[in-house]
Amino acid sequence: MKLNGTITALVTPFAKDGSVDYGKLKALVEEQIAGGVEGICSVGTTGESPTLDHAEHHKVIEKTIEYAQGKCKIIAGTGANSTAEAISLTKAAIAMGGSDACLQVTPYYNKPNAEGLYRHFATLADLGLPVVLYNVPGRAGKEIPLEVVKRLAAHENVIAIKEAAGSVERVSAIKNMCPDFTVLSGDDSLAVPMISVGAEGVISVASNVIPKEMSDMIRAALSGDFKTAGAAHAKLYPLFHNLFIDTNPVMVKEALALQGKIERVFRLPLCETTDKNLETMRATLASLGLV
């Protein structure tokens, strides 16, 4: 199974009482599909996975699959810093059916050594659901070393890596070691540069807000039309940047709330952004005709 194109790291909308708003989730999924994305990643970091309990975690993935109706690929966020917990979440995703792959984040906080990282990911890959590795040292406190990526790429169920280390050079290094291994950008602002050196798409935060524009930009880049992709990147860059002036997913949820698509509700320790940041986002959306 091959992953490419635009895969949206979908937010999890909450109702005013703090519960998951499945009606708004359905609307978001349908908007993504109408916008032409190739996939949806459910309950990743942008989906506020740390604050969903396990029952909610399973149900959000299950409902996302149901709402998508087979019209795009579904990646289930089932990672954890405890291998046992990640196994439990992944087995639940396998049991419900409908997920094309799972996203497995680098175990955070406990910072395992290279062998521990290899065993963690390999154990999850052995379960049978295709695995997308998620390299995000800014959140995990640890990167997946290149030699570990190479070892894991040889596993038949490890199909891709989401690169969110902010390094285009690392994409080149991975493709040099493993030419046939799929790399997906984890940074909207680096998606076009990463594709230029071999990445095959993006797992995107921005596409929550601009699914069609993001999909068009990525398709242009993947087709080799970097003039069109570069122009789109330049136009959209202020949004890419301002979605991260506060901790993700705060700003993308603020943007969607400004558009009237979700409630402005978070779960602690996440909370609303500052008035200054909110006005910056409002102005950014207005400049793109999005509010």
Q: Tell me which residues are annotated as active site.
A: 134, 162
* Dist. CA 198–CA 211, nearest whole Å: 22
Dihedral of CA atoms 38, 192, 49, 246 in degrees, nearest 10, equals: -140
* Dist. CA 37–CA 140, nearest whole Å: 27
* Dist. CA 61–CA 52, nearest whole Å: 12
Per the document, the length of the chain is 291
Q: DSSP for 12-70, please give it.
A: --B-TTSSB-HHHHHHHHHHHHHTT-SEEEESSTTTTGGGS-HHHHHHHHHHHHHHHTT
**Residue 122 φ/ψ, nearest 5 degrees:** -65, -40
| Residue whose structure tokens are 């590795």 | 133
**Residue 184 φ/ψ, nearest 5 degrees:** -120, 130
DSSP at 20: B
CB neighbourhood size of 283 (10 A): 12
CA 83 to chain centre: 20
For residue 289, count CB atoms less than 10 angstroms from its CB and return exposed for 0-12, middle for 13-18, buried for 19 or more: exposed
